[in-house]
Amino acid sequence: MLVSAEQMLIKAREGKYAVGQFNINNLEWTKAILTTAQELNSPVILGVSEGAGKYMGGYETVVGMVNGMIKSMNITVPVALHLDHGSYEHALKVIEAGFSSVMFDGSHYAIEENVEKTMEIVRIAKEKGLSVEAEVGSIGGEEDGVIGTGEVADPQECAKIAGLGVTMLAAGIGNIHGKYPANWQGLNFDVLAKIQAVTNNIPLVLHGGTGIPEDMIKQAISLGVAKINVNTECQLVFAEATRKYIEAGKDLTGKGFDPRKLLQPGYEAIKATVKEKMELFGSVNQA
């Protein structure tokens, strides 16, 4: 059964570890992430962007696939199904479709409008028992059509949004979606510490988890980060493993063209990446 992310994140914040949000694109992604979470006895959050939701045939299809897999594969660790960087309209859609968690990303609005819309989503989502993530400031780079300026969050605005009853708060602290450029300045821990000080122990969310060095991940967790989002890294390792398989001509021998064989190396690569992240984030054996 899907669960809200609330309890797993409160527990993570108290226990000084983070739960990984891994974005899904299809059945292989979902199965790789759920299987790894179960093997490692770790809670997990499946992230679905609006684009990935559309690609998979709509939010109802995603809910059906994830619920079916949890049941058929006997997944007993806590799993939350979460809309990633959702618009107001799509936040309402996933609440109806049966997601257990939702991000309303109002970071591109002026703070007053972000407050107003976040409040409305909190009211509707909480009635149905979903957890809610809000965002302040902006994550740099681009993810699935969502482009961010990279503006560092204002702690006072964070305090305002955190006070609306959201479950978790994402803040721009120099983090970027996609690969980090060579001249990246790193995460802004001074701002993160200020945000932590004024947001009443709310679990904080670190987006752009691909390629953040280990020491920065650990420091972020020590400053209240309880959820870390990873997307691009799984895509990169999947693409690399699939390319190697094809370049080695394995699809040309025997039944190597069978999609269940062709997609296997990419599936295993996602599993290895998810395992590595869960170990780094400290969520292993926390289910």
Catalytic residues: 84
Q: Taking the complex as a whole, how short is the minimal distance between the CB of residue 281 and Zn ion, in angstroms?
A: 16
Q: Rule CB under 6 A: is residue 140 a binding residue for ligand G3H?
A: no
Q: Rule CB under 5 A: is residue 227 a binding residue for Zn ion?
A: no
Q: Rule CB under 6 A: is residue 229 a binding residue for ligand G3H?
A: yes
Q: Rule CB under 6 A: is residue 208 a binding residue for ligand G3H?
A: yes
Q: Rule CB under 6 A: is residue 84 a binding residue for ligand G3H?
A: yes
CA distance 189 to 196: 10
177 annotated among ligand-binding-site residues: yes
Q: Rule CB under 6 A: is residue 233 a binding residue for ligand G3H?
A: yes
Residue 5: alpha-carbon gap to chain centroid: 11
Residues 6+ apart with CB under 8 A from 40: 275, 278, 279, 283, 284, 285
* Neighbouring-strand partners of residue 147: 142
35 annotated among ligand-binding-site residues: no
Whose CA is closest to 12, among 166, 201, 196? 201
51 annotated among ligand-binding-site residues: no
Using DSSP, how many helices (H) and how many strands (E) does the chain show? 12, 10
Contact between 135 and 229 under an 8 Å Cβ cutoff? The reply is no
In the set 207, 227, 271, 277, which binds Zn ion (CB under 5 A)?
207
Whose CA is closest to 148, among 85, 74, 238? 85
Binding-site members for dihydroxyacetone phosphate are 178, 208-210, 229-232
Residues in touch with ligand G3H (CB under 6 A): 23, 47, 84-85, 143, 177-178, 207-210, 229-233
Binding-site members for Zn(2+) are 85, 105, 135, 177, 207
Residues in touch with Zn ion (CB under 5 A): 207
